[in-house]
């Protein structure tokens, strides 16, 4: 099937304009940005994307111009890094809180074994 069957009329017009003799680089860049924005909107928004199960993480890069596809993939990678950093911070905060609770229990009970046992019970 030809690509045009899957592309919006707006996309086709923009691509034809870009292929025509556009001498102004700013105008050509603006057309490229519009094309890439149209393609990005066809995908699931990133704020929803990462709430999906990983096996549903499908990205359609067909129709993007090369630079737009690279920027979109980099945007996704940056978002993934931010999520990973957020999870690491959350885990560190949890560990710090657990450590503070254990130290407090040790000061109250004075029994290191009860602290260890309490920690092990919290893990099950």
pLDDT at position 91 = 87
pLDDT at 98 over 90: no
DSSP 3: G
Which tops the pLDDT comparison, 106 or 51? 51
Return the structure tokens found at 92. Answer: 């560190």
Please check the confidence at residue 122 and state whether its pLDDT lies above 70.
no
- Asked whether residue 11 carries a pLDDT value surpassing 90, the answer given is no
Question: Hunting for tokens 């990133």 — which residue is that?
Answer: 46
Q: Burial of 1 by CB count in 10 Å (0-12 exposed, 13-18 middle, 19+ buried)?
A: exposed
Residues 63, 29, 59: CA angle, nearest 5 degrees: 25
Query: According to the model, what pLDDT value does residue 2 have?
Result: 47
Q: How sure is the predictor about 47, in pLDDT bands with cuts at 50, 70 and 90? A: confident
Distance between CA atoms of residues 78 and 49, nearest Å: 13
What is the full DSSP assignment across 32-100? Answer: HHHHHHHHHHHSPPHHHHTTS-GGG-----TT--HHHHHHHHHHHHHHHHHHHHHHHHHHHHHHHHHHH
pLDDT at 113: 61
**pLDDT grade, residue 1 (50/70/90)?**
very low
- This prediction has a pTM of 0.64
């Amino acid at each position: 099937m030809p690509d045009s069957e899957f592309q919006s009329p707006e996309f086709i017009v923009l691509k034809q304009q870009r292929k025509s003799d556009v001498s102004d680089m700013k105008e050509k860049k603006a057309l490229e940005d519009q094309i890439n924005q149209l393609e990005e909107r066809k995908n699931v928004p990133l704020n929803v994307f990462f709430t999906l199960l990983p096996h549903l993480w499908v990205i359609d890069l067909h129709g993007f111009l090369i630079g737009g596809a690279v920027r979109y993939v980099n945007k996704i990678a940056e978002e993934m890094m931010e999520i990973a950093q957020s999870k690491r911070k959350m885990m560190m905060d949890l560990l710090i809180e657990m450590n503070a609770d254990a130290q407090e229990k040790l000061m109250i009970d004075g029994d290191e074994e009860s602290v260890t046992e309490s920690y092990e019970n919290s893990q099950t």
